[in-house]
Structure 1
């Protein structure tokens, strides 16, 4: 796949949006509530599977290189942070969201919303076990799997539903404009 200048700009734009979303946070435990998922999901919806994932991979690489763009800072040692598994999920989620929506000729609100929900579930499937392992085995904070699910998943459900609705509302308005620009 040949990446055009426009694609590089959009990838960088969504990398920056995700970074900005990390600075808007509400601390609720080892993983804060942020706006990052909104931009992660939108990258899959608007850029597609490859470019959406690329924007998030770039975000993670920049953070690991030491640029303090993660919700809790940056640097290579961040791989030992309880929230790093969610960042890995940020790379996978837009790929899946983009693949789901690539099959639809004209994605509707419901399809975008469902794709966003699938994306957020993927993030939790990666993030919660990672958080559990880091807390128990690296930080020596004893926590049960039930407690990890409570503090790493359940507390985020209302916000992620709202963000998924916002992604669907934005997606149905922006996708037609992107298609007009591409044709």
Structure 2
């Protein structure tokens, strides 16, 4: 994949925005509420599948390299043992899926944008919850059932995440249309 300077800047921008979103938190036990998903969804819907996923991959790699870009100022290779790390992996898939669907749908409206961001959100949960379950049971020695993992890894976040999906859906169609018109994105 050939990547232009403009694309590199946009990818870096969304990696940085996701890192900023990690610092805007509502602390609750196990997995904090952050704005990371909001910027992950924007990355996918604005940059498309490959560049959106690349922005999230770079975000995760920068954090694993030791920069404190994860929620609560975390970073380093040891973060893979955190119950929330699966959600970070999920962001890569999420940005790809949201971007892919936006590319396939062409012009999007609020409803289409909401649907594709919700699909992306489901992908985040599909990766995040099993990792949460595994990490709790195997790394932290906290015996947790699947329903328990859903109870702590999905239920507290669904409403807030759906609100984030709505925010993206309201803003994204205009932003995508404007950026396409300016030939900043395809």
Q: What's the TM-score bracket when you normalise by the shorter of the two chains?
A: over 0.9
Alignment of 1:82-101 (within 5 A): 82-101=83-102
Which whole-Å CA distance do the structure 2 matches of 1:106 and 1:145 have between them? Answer: 38
The equivalent residue for 1:44 is 44
The equivalent residue for 1:24 is 24
The equivalent residue for 2:115 is 114
The equivalent residue for 1:164 is 165
Gaps of 5+ in 2: none
Alignment of 1:1-183 (within 5 A): 1-72=1-72, 73-182=74-183
Cα offset, 1:24, TM superposition: 0.6
The runs of at least 4 consecutive aligned structure 1 residues that moved more than 4 Å come to: none
* Cα deviation digits, residues 85-109 of structure 1 (max 9, x gap): 0000000001111111111231111
Which whole-Å CA distance do the structure 2 matches of 1:99 and 1:24 have between them? Answer: 27
What TM-score results when the alignment is normalised by the length of structure 1?
0.97
Aligned residues: 183
Which whole-Å CA distance do the structure 1 matches of 2:104 and 2:52 have between them? Answer: 16
* Cα deviation digits, residues 116-159 of structure 1 (max 9, x gap): 00101001011011011111111111222211101100110110
What TM-score results when the alignment is normalised by the length of structure 2?
0.96
